[in-house]
Structure 1
Amino acid sequence: MSRRDRSAGEVLVRRLYAEHGAALLAYATRLSGDRAAAQELVRRTLLRAWTEPSALSEERGAVRARLFVLLREAAGAPADVLQMLGAVGTLPPEEREVLNQLYFQGRDVKETAASLGLPAETVKSRSYQALRRLRAALAAEVTTGAA
């Protein structure tokens, strides 16, 4: 790797961290339950983004969505994909839509609220409740599956 490529990569990683680091760290902390592990996940995610810059488009939402995918891959699936889909399927439709907008479409709370015609506090509440329900459903699945 040339010095110029390395320098450009460092600029990319710094820019990505400045724009998306807080959101990535918050999500990684929720996934891992441990701040130090979350910081390592974010580091690995940004390193991978550096090695695959062509996968990142210039649109803010698309970049964030791709970074979240890379982070989930770095974390490893917390549960089997089918288990996760099953757990998501148990959520009320309004909570599923909020998670879809926030985590899969890469929108922030304000953008999601505008898109759904809801107050931002409602988006936050639905997201919180949905994540609690998912954790409980996945924990129940692990407990039931382990028995």
Structure 2
Amino acid sequence: MDTTNAIRPVSPSIDGVIREHGAALLSYVTRLTGDRYLAEDIVQETWLRAWRHADRLTADKGSVRGWLMRTAHNVTIDQHRSRKARPTEIAFEGEVLTNKAVQSAPSDDVENRMVLNELLEHLSPVHRRTVVEVYVTDRTVTSAASALGVPVGTVKSRLHHAMRNLRGRFAGGALRAA
């Protein structure tokens, strides 16, 4: 079996495609992103995908430029989504940080504690102790089971019922009278 045809792309050489469509592709992606350096990264990824799928870069399978533009558009969207999924990077403007870490005010802690206490009042004593062990003292279910002297399944069941009770009672963010 001759494997030389399996290795060589059937389509025109990638070098020719880059020469023919490179400037237009970079211009398009720069307009999409508004950032020349990011656009260059996206175009580089587009060329890599074009090299991997060189068999698709023929006029008989559709517009080569259209395939490149669509691929670059998809890479742009993918990078945008991945940046949104990661925490915001801190950028410097002169000596001032634009994204400073936010510390909660002591009054926020007091208010949160008051709301938590009010929520816990609506639970039975066993459910309350279970919720406090797992969520307030930040224990694992296994550790909470040991501390409470009950099986792990009981802790899970109590948590489930306590959360269901609280969700039902406080649906929509408004406290309902007991």
Bin the TM-score by the shorter chain.
0.3 to 0.5
Bigger-Rg structure (1/2): 2
Greater per-residue helix proportion: 1
Query: TM-score, with normalisation over the residues of structure 2?
Result: 0.36
Query: TM-score, with normalisation over the residues of structure 1?
Result: 0.43
Greater RCO (CA < 8 Å, at least 6 residues apart): 1
